[in-house]
């Protein structure tokens, strides 16, 4: 079992959103569509935290894949789910779950996974 956690300062994400092509660089079109509906830097920060937590759980950091390869979507009830693409699309996991939380100026995420052997 592998676990990764990340904490993101929401005002930092707000500044990046106002600065330039942050969304297009790190998020898929489907994620961006979700952000446009929610209109919240908190939501963007939560998704970014999942991507970072995923890289930590994998144990590699952000090597050999792009953050866009880790797509964070929501199921029918709003629960965050991870869909892998790009260089990660062939990786198989017995278990891959994430959770996002917000408090004030911070978003945090945890990813728990077990890779198929």
Q: Where are the domains of the chain?
A: 2-115
pLDDT tier at 116, thresholds 50, 70, 90: confident
Catalytic residue among 19, 24, 39, 56: 56
Mean pLDDT of the chain: 94
The beta strand positions in the chain, using DSSP E, are 2-9, 70-74, 80-84, 93-103, 106-115
Residue 117 pLDDT > 90, yes or no? no
* 117 labelled catalytic: no
* 102 labelled catalytic: yes
Catalytic residue among 51, 89, 102, 117: 102
Q: What is the pLDDT of residue 98?
A: 97
CATH class of 2-115: alpha beta
CB 59 within 8 A of CB 8: no
């Amino acid at each position: 079992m592998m676990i990764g956690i990340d904490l993101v300062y929401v005002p930092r994400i707000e500044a990046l959103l106002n600065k330039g092509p942050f969304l297009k660089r790190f998020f898929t079109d489907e994620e961006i569509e979700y952000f446009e509906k929610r209109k919240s830097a908190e939501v963007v920060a939560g998704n970014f935290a999942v991507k970072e937590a995923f890289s930590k759980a994998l144990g590699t950091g952000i090597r050999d894949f792009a953050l866009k390869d880790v797509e964070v979507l929501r199921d029918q009830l709003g629960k965050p789910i991870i869909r892998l693409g790009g260089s990660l699309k062939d990786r198989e996991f017995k278990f891959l779950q994430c959770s996002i939380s917000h408090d004030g100026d911070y978003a945090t995420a945890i990813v728990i996974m077990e890779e198929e052997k």
